[in-house]
Structure 1
Amino acid sequence: MAKFLNTSATNYYLEELIKNTSDRLILISPFLRLNDRIKELLEDKNRLKIDIRIIYGKSDLHPNEINWLNELSFVRTSFCKNLHAKCYLNENSCIITSLNLYEFSQVNNNEMGIHITRDEDPDTYKDAYEEAQRIIRISDEVKVSLEKVEQPIEAKKSIETKKTQSNEVENSEVQNKGEGKTAKLTSSKLAQKLKLKTADLMLALVSTGYLTHKDDKYSLTDEGKSIGGEFKYSKRFGPYFIWPEDTDIGS
């Protein structure tokens, strides 16, 4: 029988659901912002090679989340337009709730939810699982680097089409190299060129005065603009920066 959950119970059952996953974990939440406890639980499941799917719907990925996800081999992320559902399930149980992932452990909020088990409510669990699978199917799988994963059916598309798609994501290289111009790279591509992690590059850009970092957000400074840095925004993947490929961040 389904169990009603208040705020504290939702937090407790969600943590237990993640901890007790032995096969597959599906997390559906509009916001992909995770606190340290959720990250710790997911890291443990990643070490156990558990298949983890995270479906999100808001384009507010932060560099810290990107860098962290880069290190998890068994986590796949998908973007679902107009997503508002919050549903968390594994092979045995499911939670449907008002709680976003980023609100986990924030007991000052008033949340509600229900907990369903496969053994006690097989039909309801099956309906929730099938809806979660439908949401996954209509979502665009996104690499941790924010590059869109090409689906098998699209494998034979022309190179030009793929270039057009890649321009819509944060990690695509900005192709503006021409006569008298210097190619510009996204922060991720510049980090790769300099053999750094993206998070380390962002810290270096702050140290050089090209960016400021406040309230977990980066902003371009006048000095950053003067060396050719630009702020960009993608409707799907949110804000990012591009830099001249010869940007000097010091030693």
Structure 2
Amino acid sequence: MAKFLNTSATNYFLEELIKSTNDKLILISPFLKLNNRIKELLEDKNRMKIDIRIVYGKIEMKNEEINWLKELSFVRTSFCENLHAKCYMNEKMCIVTSMNLYEFSQVNNNEMGILIKRDDDQELYNDTKEEAERIIRVSDEVRMSVEKVEKIEKENEEDQHDKLTTSKLATKLKIKTDELLSKLLKDGYLEIKNEKEHLTQKGKDVGGEWRASKYGGYFLWDKEMKI
């Protein structure tokens, strides 16, 4: 019998699901921004040479996420257009939920989901697995590299001599990128909408820009911007 999960229970069983994986792990989430705990668990499974498939559906993946994923040899990442499903599963159980694999969702949102165990309901588990594998088949596998990301940033910055990406501005200010993003949110230059950062009018007034690309979106800021 499936078990109902609220937000905290979904977070708990998601960690347990990843930790208990011995064969194959599938993570399907439109938005992807992993918290440090999930990253640690995935890094451990990567060391154990577990097959990990991650499917996401929004191009605005952070460059930091792309570069981190690149370092995990046993993780394959795919992009699925029009993805809205959220499903996390291994060889023994799966979670079907409203919660994205996104740090903001896990902390701030009210979510619901169900836990399905293969031994308790094999038919329901198999149906879910079949659909998850179909989504993987129709997805485009993405192999990103640090060089590609840096090339994209460089190409766009060539036309924006007075602009820096968030990561480069953070380097200039001698702080971490996440710390700079927090400051930009706190000071009203960015805001959270639909679980991701957006420029506010205040951010646009100081020269902030959003750039979308095939491999991920990013912000550009005036290189003389003071935070």
- Name structure 2 gaps, 5 residues minimum: 156-166, 185-198, 200-209, 220-227
The CA RMSD over aligned residues, in Å, is 3.4
After TM superposition, list the pairs within 5 Å mapping 1:1-251 onto structure 2: 1-103=1-103, 106-145=106-145, 171=148, 185-187=151-153, 202-203=167-168, 206-207=171-172, 214-215=180-181, 233-234=212-213, 236-239=214-217
Query: Higher RCO, 1 or 2 (CA under 8 Å, sep at least 6)?
Result: 2
Q: Which residue of 1 aligns with 2:191?
A: none
C-alpha change, 1:14 and 1:122, in structure 2 (3 Å) is same
Structure in which a larger fraction of residues adopt helix = 2
Q: Which residue of 2 aligns with 1:249?
A: none
AA matched with 1:41:
L
Number of residues paired by the alignment? 185
Instruction: Report the identity percentage.
Output: 66
C-alpha change, 1:93 and 1:205, in structure 2 (3 Å) is closer
Please, what TM-score do these two structures have when normalized by structure 1? 0.64
AA matched with 2:181:
D
C-alpha change, 1:121 and 1:127, in structure 2 (3 Å) is same
Secondary structure of the residue aligned to 1:127 is helix
Secondary structure of the residue aligned to 1:53 is strand
Which structure has the larger Rg over C-alpha atoms? 1
Superposed CA offset, 1:73-122 (max 9, x none): 00110000010100000011010001111147835421111000111110
- Name structure 1 gaps, 5 residues minimum: 147-169, 174-184, 190-201, 220-230, 242-251
Superposed CA offset, 1:24-66 (max 9, x none): 0000000121110110110000000000000000111112112
2-structure distance, mates of 1:93, 1:111: 19
Q: Which residue of 2 aligns with 1:196?
A: none
2-structure distance, mates of 1:129, 1:99: 18
